[in-house]
Amino acid sequence: MQTIEIHVSGKVQKVGFRSCVKRIAQKLNIRGEVMNLPDGSVRIISTGEKIVLDKFVSMIYGCPRAVIRDMKAIDREFHEFNEFTVIKPNT
């Protein structure tokens, strides 16, 4: 098992991107979280088998209405999550 952090920039807020990422993660049995960042980008932290995480990253590009300009994934210290959740901003 491995944990990665993914930063996605482009038109990725207010287009259903976080929900799309959650659906893909649940389909692939990946656990973690996705959240909007103040700079307009999205951060995803996900834990799963390496080969499945690679597939997850490639499937994110298929989210409709999102226009991904840049996506970077980095390894993180292993973190176990119970499920995949969408973190809502504090308002």
Amino acid at 68: I
Give the total number of structural domains in the chain.
Answer: 1
- pLDDT score for 90: 64
Candidates 23, 29, 31, 36; catalytic one: 36
Q: How far apart are CA 46 and CA 61, in angstroms?
A: 16
Does residue 65 have an active-site annotation? no
- pLDDT score for 89: 75
Does residue 29 have an active-site annotation? no
With residue 47 as reference, give the H or E element that holds it. Answer: strand 42-48
| pLDDT > 70? residue 91 | no
CATH code: domain of residue 21 = 3.30.70.100
Summary mean pLDDT of the chain: 96
Expressed as residue numbers, the domain containing 9 is: 2-87
Q: How far apart are CA 75 and CA 59, in angstroms?
A: 18
| pLDDT > 90? residue 42 | yes
